[in-house]
Amino acid sequence: MTSESSIKRDMVKSMHEGGGYARRFEDQYTVGTYDMILIPLGLPAFFAEVKIIKDHVFGPTPRQAIELQRIIDAAGQSGHVIAVMIGWKDGVFYFSRPKMRINRIDCFSVTTSDMPFYKQLTLYYYSQKGQPK
């Protein structure tokens, strides 16, 4: 069984290999803190909450939802910072704007585990911006 910790470790490795930056935030005493900051080379910073999808639905805790909404509010329309929920199931990543209940079929996903996470995050960014991939 794959752990959330090992998934995040692999995400950080992929970000570094792609020339970007990644950092995990894990503190059992800080309630509601998102899991990671991800910065693809030349793109905005992503504040991400990562969840293993057990069925078809995932989402943040109520406190994480508040923190992610604060990030969205502070960023405004600047596009410099992006809050994102990232689900993982069977080797596939699912990307979504934060909301309490996210069905993986409504998410952006390349539906393959062969593409590095770094590239998938970049494709998600461009899919949200309507820019060429």
Q: What is the pLDDT of residue 27?
A: 65
Determine what percent of the chain is predicted with pLDDT higher than 90: 77
Q: Which residues contact 120 (CB under 8 A, 6 or more apart)?
A: 93, 95, 109, 110
Instruction: Give 93-132 pLDDT, tens digit per residue.
Output: 999 999 999 999 999 998 777 899 999 999 999 998 754 3
This prediction's pTM: 0.91
Taking the domains of the chain in order of start, what are their residue ranges? Answer: 4-129
Token pair listed for 85: 């929920």
Cα dist. 62→115, 118, 129 in Å?
32, 28, 27
Q: What is the pLDDT of residue 130?
A: 59
Buried b (16+ CB within 10 A) or exposed e, 88-120: bbeebbbbbebeeebebeebbbbeeeeebbbeb
Cα dist. 91→14, 29, 44, 79, 120 in Å?
14, 29, 25, 29, 12
Q: Please identify, in words, the CATH class of the domain defined by 4-129.
A: alpha beta
Q: What is the pLDDT of residue 117?
A: 96
pLDDT at 133 over 50: no
